[in-house]
Amino acid sequence: MEKILTKKSFPLWVKELVSYKIYAPQKNGDLWNFETIKKPESINLDFPNTVLPPKNIIFPQREVLLEFESSNENKLQVKETLPDDDPTIIFGVRPCDAKALTLTDKVFSGDFKDPYYWKRRNSTVLIGLACNIPPSPNCFCLSVGGSPHSKEGLDILMTDLGDKYFVESLSEKGSTLINLAKPLFQQPKAADKKAVEKTQAEAEKKITRQIKDIKKIPSILKNMFDSPLWDEESLSCLRCGICTYLCPTCHCFDINDEVASSSPVKGKRVRTWDTCQFPDFTMHSSGHNPRPDRASRLRQRIFHKFQYFVERYQNYLCTGCGRCISKCPVGIDIIEVLDKVRDYGS
């Protein structure tokens, strides 16, 4: 279903959706992040990239998995604490961030379908906004099989055409939302479709960064486990978690018991984000650490994204949002690292 929605009508549409919990990019200080909105008029879709991708709405940094408490007979009571499945809408999802969710979907499926993840995922409608201008100078979605107007993972894709949006429904969930405010939407004219095509073609040209010959990377990496390159490229790495915590595809987590009382036992089992960039990620209780240094940790990040994941799921675990490049406090640039990997292979 393809429709036209004027920018004037946009808040009216949002008004019709109030039974949903609505997230949209909001500005706080100088930064944009996804937050729940209170007023339909407060959605401003003219934003650069959000610091954090919408990943944390589906896969929050902290998730209580279960609560435990010992009763009088000293029996341990365990209560699973699944999240609410309130119908949720996220506005302004960038195509790269939506694609990233299709990748984490793979991880949280398989033999064990993660109920916490899927409860939120299934109850969320993703409304994307095509990037007419790359939201970051480090965008490189074209290199990793994406595009500034990719529909992958989205329920609706909106394209800004000046005073109106071209709204494309891509799933039943998406159509439902449009049907809730049918009279607001108009049929697109041939000129609108042409305008979309033109905008899309121009948007692609504006993306300046790319990983050349990325297809060669996975096989080259296979022979690079012991390469001195990892030492050289990681010299300035600080072992912080920025690159992975801001990544829309990184999904590693830790599970800890947060004990409120030890006698009688009472507490919560909590899942929190974790990252391969922290030294304690792989630390054994013996004190041995199989990934003992910066080099092995950088290597892990690159291998997971461009080798292991490709082998297992036939996809790069990277959607080219550029956050890890823009926000690295010491300027480590994943494109540059991969350029060197490719040079190493030739």
Give the residues lining the site for another protein (CB under 8 A): 28-31, 51-52, 61-62, 137-138, 209, 235-236, 238-242, 245-246, 254, 256, 258, 270, 272-275, 278-280, 283, 285-288, 293-294, 325, 327, 329-331, 333, 335-336
Whose CA is closest to 61, among 188, 181, 241? 241
How many Å apart are CA 57 and CA 60, to the nearest integer? 6
Peptide bond into 48 cis (omega under 30): no
Secondary structure (H, E, C), 20-59: CEEEEEEEECCEEEEEECCCHHHCCCCCCCCCCCCHHHHC
Whose CA is closest to 59, among 273, 276, 319? 273
Closest contact distance (angstroms) between CB of 320 and another protein is 14
Closest contact distance (angstroms) between CB of 4 and another protein is 30
* Closer residue to another protein in complex, CB, 219/236: 236
* Closer residue to another protein in complex, CB, 17/332: 332
* Closer residue to another protein in complex, CB, 110/137: 137
Whose CA is closest to 13, among 127, 124, 170, 148? 127
Whose CA is closest to 60, among 232, 270, 288? 270
Closest contact distance (angstroms) between CB of 14 and another protein is 25
* Closer residue to another protein in complex, CB, 104/150: 104
* Closer residue to another protein in complex, CB, 144/325: 325
* Closer residue to another protein in complex, CB, 28/74: 28
* Closer residue to another protein in complex, CB, 13/230: 230
* Closer residue to another protein in complex, CB, 76/235: 235
How many Å apart are CA 62 and CA 66, to the nearest integer? 12
How many Å apart are CA 180 and CA 197, to the nearest integer? 27
How many Å apart are CA 248 and CA 53, to the nearest integer? 5
Secondary structure (H, E, C), 116-171: HHHHHHHCEEEEEECCCCCCCCCCCHHHHCCCCCCCCCCCEEEEECCCEEEEEECC
Closest contact distance (angstroms) between CB of 240 and another protein is 4
φ and ψ at 150, to 5 degrees?
-65, 145
Closest contact distance (angstroms) between CB of 47 and another protein is 13
Closest contact distance (angstroms) between CB of 84 and another protein is 18
Lookup result for tokens 């650069």? 48
